[in-house]
């Protein structure tokens, strides 16, 4: 998957719609956004896709953000496997990215992708 790069004049709110296009989903699919500790998570299509698209995710933020993402995923109980997309450049190091993926996998979210 190509990297998610914010083009000039675009906002962070535009990025979930870019994901809809990349995954071939209908642009009318509902997108909900929540904030936890100043970080955003977008639920696309009632939780079939979750996106953490923050500019930075430090090692200390990984666990609370992963748990929050998992908690929100459990609420709508989406049919089928869900994927989680994260901005690859947001992680301070590979350990933080691996930790996030491991926590999400324990919560039943094995489809973690970074872009």
Which pLDDT value is given to residue 111? 77
pLDDT at site 12? 63
pLDDT in tens, the chain (115 residues): 444 455 566 666 677 777 777 777 778 888 888 887 778 888 777 666 777 777 888 888 888 888 888 777 766 565 567 778 888 888 888 898 899 889 888 887 877 777 7
Contact 83, 111 (CB under 8 A): yes
Reduced 3-state DSSP string for 45-79:
CCCCEEEECCCCECHHHHHHHHHHHHHHHHCCCCC
**pLDDT at 1 (0 to 100):** 40
Contact assessment for residue 42 and residue 51, using Cβ atoms and an 8 Å cutoff: yes
What pLDDT score was predicted for residue 28?
83
pTM of the model as a whole = 0.71
Q: Which residue has the tokens 């009632």?
A: 46
Determine the pLDDT at residue 51.
78
Helix 94-106, helix 59-74: angle, nearest 10: 20
Q: Give the per-residue pLDDT at 46.
A: 67
Indicate the helix (H) or strand (E) that contains 111: strand 111-114
Query: Would you call 23 helix, strand, or coil by DSSP?
Result: coil
């Amino acid at each position: 998957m190509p990297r998610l790069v914010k083009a000039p004049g675009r906002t962070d709110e535009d990025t979930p719609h870019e994901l809809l296009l990349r995954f071939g989903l209908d642009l009318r699919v509902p997108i909900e956004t929540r904030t936890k500790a100043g970080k955003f998570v977008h639920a696309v299509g009632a939780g079939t896709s979750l996106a953490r698209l923050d500019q930075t995710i430090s090692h200390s933020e990984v666990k609370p953000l992963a748990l929050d993402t998992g908690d929100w995923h459990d609420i709508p109980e989406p049919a089928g496997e869900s994927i989680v997309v994260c901005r690859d450049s947001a992680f301070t190091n590979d350990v933080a990215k691996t930790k996030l993926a491991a926590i999400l996998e324990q919560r039943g979210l094995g489809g973690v992708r970074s872009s």
